[in-house]
Structure 1
Amino acid sequence: MAAVKGPSLSGARLYRAGRRWFSRSRAIGKRAWLSQGDGSVSKKLLPVVILSAVALFAGYEYYRAQSLIPPDGVFQGYIEGEFVLVGPEQGGRIKELDLTEGDDVAKGAVLFTVDERAARERLNETRAAEARATAELENLTSAQQRPEQIRILQAALGRAKADLDLAVTNLQRQADLYRRKVTSKEHFDTARSNFLKARAARDESQRQISYARMPARQNLINAARSAVEAAKAARAQAEIALTKLTVHAPVNGKVQQILFRAGEIVAAGQPVVQLLPPARLKALFFVPETQRASLKKGMEVRIACDSCPQDLSATVSFLSRDAEFTPPVIFSAEERSKLVFRIEARLSEAGRFLSPGQPVTVHLAGPQS
């Protein structure tokens, strides 16, 4: 560790000279007062007394300012945490939240739940829509008539065939009688007409059965299949929306702050719980431009604080490229307008007990340490 730089020699000499000058002036004034006897200070000695007081004050202030300047390689900083803000993806009223600030939670643990009644109703609605679309598709892809109706049509076809057989027999008999001049042409024409009617009735029954066994047109079937796929997608989305109402911890961490309580309404994406992962603590400090080049990413630095272990270290993870003014939280004895660079150092596992905002002293590791 670099040795602590004390006040400059000129400041100490100025301080000691001012004290001697003030002491001599006070002694001279005392003798002059005793010699005059009236207790009044000589006008010639008054400027000497004033200058002695000014020199004493200036020397003391310079000495005190120099003693407050930290040595090279030592910087004041504080601990900062990278918090994880956890909120619901679906808005609603918080139903359950059984956490207290300071609790340790594991990744995947339930943090809180949002009222799921509306989401559950939506899921039931999508399931019913899917079942309806599936039934319509099955109806279109199956026969257009039910089996009972097809059996009725088959019975009608049997009657039509029997009527046709009878009409054929009657037509043959009338044709034979008409050739022998036994019957009139009128009876022959009637038998022939009955035969044609019976054949047409049989053909009609056969076509009705064939049509009853055919599915619907292909474009209707395609539309029904698309409706089923859309219903399945809506049901899957409703299931996902329902599961997202139970919010789990995305990482291991400690509960730092609870922003909403059970019974309060939150919007989608609004933070409810603030977590601090143990590996996301870092020391933040600022270095002047003259010492900026001595730090590099991956460099190890030592951390010191009240009640901290001696072997506490951190690794430089970020070096700002832009200069800035010294932040108010860093109490610097140098000029406030001096530009500094922001540096971040990731704490080792031994430093995970530190708290955000805790002040620390950062020592650069190197030949001077």
Structure 2
Amino acid sequence: MPADPVGMKRLACILCLLPALALAEPLRLQGYVEGEYVRVAPTGAGTLAGVEVREGERVTAGAPLFALDTLVERAVRDQAVADLERAEAQLADLRKGKRPDELKAIAEQKAEALAALRLSEATLKRQDILARNDYASRARLDEARAALERDRAQVRRLEAEYRTALLGARPDEIAAQEALVGQKRLELAKADKRLLDLSPKAPADAVVEKVYYRVGEFVPAGQPVVSLLPPGNVKLVFFLPEPRLGAVKLGDAVGYACDRCAAGEARVSFIATQAEYTPPVIYSVESRDKLVFRVEARGAAAAPLALNPGQPVDVSVPAR
């Protein structure tokens, strides 16, 4: 019986559409839950003086986690406070003038100089009259004039000294002392930061996953003491076959389900740019099916994933 050309064409079209129909179906994959832990460590070394949390406990942001012995650091801070107070006192002393008693002594010296000046003026007048009437020599008149100029200079000197006594130190001395005060404040801030670093607090709401040290043990600098898992650091991990890679974009929703837990939804937050498994052959149509790409998905900020790291999950990737 002769073949039907129209039927053969329809069959060929259906066979061509089979791959597209397969890609149009939702893809179900096996995945697991992974956690990004926050490992809190002191910046300095020391003996662990106290641990404020227990494994499995939930802590809020700002809650104390642990503390190293801070005897030496507190002494350094106390010294920094004393140095700052001394520098500030010296700066205040430079900005103000002399004490009232010192100003009074200068005023009294000026009064004496004014009295001497008045006497010199009167003496010069008498000597001038006597010299014009030839009752005194010119030498005596010159001496009287010199005494008057001397007393006037003395009064001017004491007036300038009194004005200077009302002022503070020279501007360059004040500037140098202000710089020293700034340095001492930085040293105090550094000492405060050092104390805070030896008694860290929780950076966010989290679950205490692990406590690595016990009270009395020596903790090296930078060595984690407590490991935290914030809810937002829980993510789904699954591996997407290469033929479906182009159908998933960042921000796409994927469904998930697990044993004895309610089904939920997460958003794709990461797609690997390199395949996790590369066959030792040149890429061909047959070998591309073996390539998988790591994909991560997270819950919303207001609704993080309520899953445990290591927990297996079934992931459903909707078709586009």
TM-score (norm 2): 0.72
User: CA 1:250/1:158 → structure 2, altered by over 3 Å: closer, same or farther?
Assistant: same
Q: Show the counterpart of 1:77.
A: 31
Pairs within 5 Å for 1:1-369? 73-143=27-97, 145-182=98-135, 191-192=144-145, 194-292=147-245, 295-297=248-250, 298-305=252-259, 307-309=260-262, 311-325=263-277, 338-346=290-298, 352=306, 354-365=307-318
Provide the rounded CA distance (Å) in 2 between the counterparts of 1:124 and 1:182: 80
CA shift, 1:271, in A, is: 2.3
- d(CA) in 2 for partners of 1:276, 1:173: 103
Shift of residue 148, structure 1, vs aligned partner? 1.5
Q: Hey, what's the Cα distance between the residues in 2 that align with 1:213 and 1:351?
A: 72
RMSD, matched Cα: 3.5
Q: CA deviation at 1:80?
A: 1.3
* 8 Å contact from structure 1 (residues 312, 350) kept in 2: no
Letter in 1 for 2:166: R
Q: Residue 360 of structure 1 aligns to which amino acid in structure 2?
A: V
Determine if contact 2:32/2:313 at 8 Å carries over to the other structure.
yes
- Bigger radius of gyration: 1
Residue identity over aligned pairs, in percent, reads 35
Structure 2 residue identity aligned to 1:131: E
The answer to which structure, 1 or 2, has the higher relative contact order (CA under 8 A, 6+ apart) is 2
- Residues 263/181 of structure 1: CA separation in 2 closer, same or farther (3 Å cut): same
More moved, 85-94 vs 175-184: 175-184
After superposition, the Cα gap between the structure-2 partners of 1:213 and 1:365, relative to the gap in structure 1 and judged at 3 Å, is: closer
Stretch deviating more after TM superposition (317-326 or 109-118): 317-326
TM-score after normalising by structure 1: 0.63
5+ residue gaps, structure 2, are: 1-25, 279-286
Distance 1:178 1:74 in 2: 130
Contact 1:92 1:266 in 2 (8 A): yes
Equivalents in 1 of 2:146, 2:235: separation in Å? 105
- C-alpha spacing 1:90/1:193, structure 2 compared with 1 (3 Å): same
Secondary structure at the aligned position of 1:362 is classed as: strand
Distance 1:290 1:150, change over 3 A: closer
Query: Aligned AA for 2:83?
Result: A
Aligned to 2:16: none
Contact 2:298–2:304 (CA under 8 A) maintained in structure 1: no
Hey, what does 1:329 align to over in structure 2? Answer: none
Mapped to 2, the partners of 1:351 and 1:244 lie a distance apart of: 31
Task: Report the CA distance shift for 1:272/1:190 in structure 2 as closer, same or farther (over 3 A).
Answer: same
